[in-house]
Amino acid sequence: MRVIAAMASTMVASLAAGAAEAGGPPGEQLGKVLPAWSALPFVGILLSIALFPLLAPRFWHHHYPKVAAAWGLALAVPFVAAYGTPAAAELLHMALLDYVPFIVLIGTLFVIGGGILVRGTLRGSPWANAAIMATGATLASWIGTTGAAVLLIRPLLRANRQRRRKAHTVVFFIFLVANIGGVLTPLGDPPLFLGFLHGVPFFWSLTLWRELLMVAGLILAAYVALDVHHWKREDAAVRAPSQVPHEPLRVEGWHNFIFLGGVLAAVVLSGVWHPGTVSVLGVDLQTQNLLRDAVLVLLAAGSLATTRRRTREENGYTWGPVREVAILFAGIFATIVPVLLVLRAGEAGALGGVIHGIRTPAQFFWGTGLLSSFLDNAPTYLAFLSTAIGRIEPGAPEREAVLRLVGENHAYLQAIATGAVFMGANTYIGNAPNFMVKSIAEEAGIEMPSFFGYVVRYALPFLVPVFLLATWVFFG
């Protein structure tokens, strides 16, 4: 904590000097004057998430809210002290326009999905596990990656409860259900949801079905090969047909699918109905978005009120996973503000050299994807969408420019969308459902790989080769 406080003090002095030299830049100019090292608190919270669970697990389990708050304050205090009102406005914009809707959608899908209990005899063979993942990847675009992950992760864990090696199954579930499967609609993954709110047609992302089939198919095949290898090394008693009477599959809490339909309707309506704006704490918010979030909260409350407590208990439902996501992503969303401002400044910002080199669809795919692996993929998507619009349709109104991008330069939007959604699977922090699934698995007693273990043992050998092949096929 002392290190974080010292960093904050140093940043106050340095940023204040930079602000004085720049003449107190307005909000839109902040990205042009912020130094690259203003990203240090963001790097700090990422390293904390990566290292503390590995080096000090007991400390992290009890104190991660304090760590997240410390890094958030290490950015917010010097940032506002140096740049005043424009900096405070940027933090408030991030909170009200991005973080709150993000958590409301994630939380609603978590609550509703947690009220659906899949009963029946499930045996964790490679083919059964693959079938669950394929089902989840199919559902993800329509009930959200969070909804599909919460719905199916517990049945998957129950099916594999007798197996000794199962962490790899959870990791591939994160790949396919919590990320890649959500690429076909704006409800599927937060980046596409934000793109929809900025003018991308709702059904445009259905054109990405070829990318989904190829990438998901190859990763699912890799999983089956790996799991067959582990399955052969399980005890004979585990691999033998179960002697327990077979129980047919059935769904309890099915009425929650009606609530999921309500979520879909609320999201679609918020993108096609534009009654105006209201000002909240000086931030202009779209009325339809406020109504959408209010409806989502009511749907979550309806699910809690109408689902039997026993159903949630048997589903292993707790508030721990969504609480962890809400706290850690609050710190991430706060510390990411200067990073996004610098990115949006394009070639005029501290990362101008990097932005200058991103010109082709393949470069947009990897640029969006690699940053989505470590930044939240939703604001990263918007940053690269703005970069593409500024480069291809300079000066055009946003919605008009987006429609031109869809119609005349499809490959750029295709690259940005698939990069953000697919490569959110590269790390635990690339997408919020990743953390949820990890937390649920750990609550069930599964020892999940560390942050670096996840990247080195799974993302690099399994995801990166598939993404390289996808680059050659679709953007070469």
Alpha helices by DSSP H, listed for 393-427, are: 398-408, 410-422
Q: What is the pLDDT of residue 49?
A: 82
Work out the mean pLDDT of the chain and round it to a whole number. Answer: 85
User: φ, ψ for residue 102 (rounded to 5)?
Assistant: -60, -50
Indicate the helix (H) or strand (E) that contains 393: none
pLDDT tens, 325-360? 899 889 988 998 888 788 777 777 777 776 777 889
pLDDT tens, 283-302? 888 899 899 999 999 999 99
- Name beta bridge partners: 284: 279
CA angle 454, 217, 224 (to 5 degrees): 60
In angstroms, the Cα distances linking 405 to 165, 367, 390, 470 are 46, 18, 11, 21
Q: What is the pLDDT of residue 25?
A: 52
Q: What is the pLDDT of residue 23?
A: 45
pLDDT tens, 195-208? 887 788 888 999 99
- Going by the DSSP 8-state scheme, the letter that residue 204 receives in this structure is G
- Name beta bridge partners: 285: 278
Distance CA 432, CA 333 (A): 12
In angstroms, the Cα distances linking 347 to 127, 198, 335, 340, 353 are 49, 23, 21, 13, 7
| Inter-residue contact 335 to 41 (CB < 8 Å) | yes
Distance CA 343, CA 34 (A): 11
HSE, side-chain direction, 13 A CA sphere, residue 182: 35
Distance CA 15, CA 339 (A): 14
Mean pLDDT, range 62-86, rounded to an integer: 91
| Inter-residue contact 426 to 455 (CB < 8 Å) | yes
Residue 472, C-beta contacts closer than 8 angstroms, at least 6 positions apart: none
Q: What is the pLDDT of residue 19?
A: 46
Q: Which residues of 253-264 are buried (b: 16+ CB within 10 A; e: fewer)?
A: beebbebbebbb
pLDDT greater than 50 at residue 20 = no
More confident residue, 67 or 162: 67
Alpha helices by DSSP H, listed for 119-255, are: 126-159, 167-176, 190-197, 209-231, 236-239
Indicate the helix (H) or strand (E) that contains 92: helix 85-93
pLDDT greater than 90 at residue 279 = no
Is 286 exposed, middle or buried (CB count within 10 Å of its CB: 0-12, 13-18, 19+)? Answer: middle
Distance CA 330, CA 65 (A): 10
Residue 468 has a CB neighbour count (10 Å cut-off) of 11
Residue indicated by tokens 């930044």: 375
Q: What is the pLDDT of residue 405?
A: 86
Mean pLDDT, range 219-224, rounded to an integer: 97
Mean pLDDT, range 407-426, rounded to an integer: 93
Q: What is the pLDDT of residue 14?
A: 53
232: confidence class by pLDDT, cuts 50, 70, 90: confident
